[in-house]
Amino acid sequence: MFNNSSKKQQYFITIDEPCHENWDLMIPTETGRFCSNCQKTVIDFSSLSDNEIIKIIERAKGKMLCGQFDTTQLNRIMVETNMQTSNPKLYKILLSLMLLASAGNLSAQETPTPVPQVVQTADPQKTNDSIPLNDGRKKGIVLDERRRNVRLGSVSVHSGNEQPLYVVNGVPVPVSDTNFLKTFNRKEIKNLTVLQGSKATAIYGPQAAAGAILIETYGTKKKRKKKSTIK
């Protein structure tokens, strides 16, 4: 069910406010593309493994990141494994994070030398082309050159350990309530259901990244049954 002996950090990545900028009109860099509108480098996460994404998030240490993700990488649990990686792109991204200023945003430090000239000539075209690109589509989701669904925007990372979310009679128990299991009377349990993975997060969001345990208690019905039995 749930292995509480493991203390591996879990991550749940979302893009709460998708970006409508045109990826194809951004300036290519070694780690992604530079958005002249936001003045930030948008990291291309779409071809990275879960392990590689987690390494970047941990190295960023809370800094605001913008990224392009394959939609299959979002809104699900990521847990680092012991699998090693030799992806050269990963190390370029990690190096760029090490060189960041303390300001926090991954931005113009990766801008190519000819950026001023390119930005001036590309701005009018970007204004015209960015509108039909997303016309009739969900904002922030586009098709890349390999026809994959990708999403652009600021990265929101929710993390936690492998402690599942407890839901008693439809009410989630705060994760901070560490004494819940010690004080809860297990004899009152009528039904217990375990939800894992996307089934849990689809209902309860990031707080259920480690799964959800749904508990239904007898409540007053059990007490009435006891009284009728005594008689």
Question: With contact defined as beta carbons under 8 Å apart, do 89 and 48 qualify?
Answer: yes
27 pLDDT higher than 60: yes
pTM of the model: 0.51
Per-residue pLDDT of 89-101, as tens digits, reads 666 666 666 655 3
Cα–Cα–Cα angle for 71, 77, 80, rounded to 5 degrees: 110
CB 165 within 8 A of CB 175: yes
Q: Are residues 214 and 167 in contact, defined by beta-carbon separation less than 8 angstroms?
A: yes
> 4 or 109: whose pLDDT is higher?
4
* Residues shown for the chain: 231
Structure token digits, residue 118: 């390119």
pLDDT in tens, 135-194: 333 344 444 455 456 778 888 776 665 677 889 899 998 766 656 767 777 778 888 888
How confident is the model at residue 130, as a pLDDT? 31
What residue segments make up the domains of the chain, in order of their start? 10-158, 163-230
The Cα 72–Cα 62 span in angstroms is: 23
Alpha carbons 128 and 125: distance in angstroms, whole number = 5
Residue 59 has pLDDT above 70, yes or no: yes
- Predicted pLDDT at 184: 76
As a whole number of Å, the CA-based R_g of the chain is 23
pLDDT at 112: 38
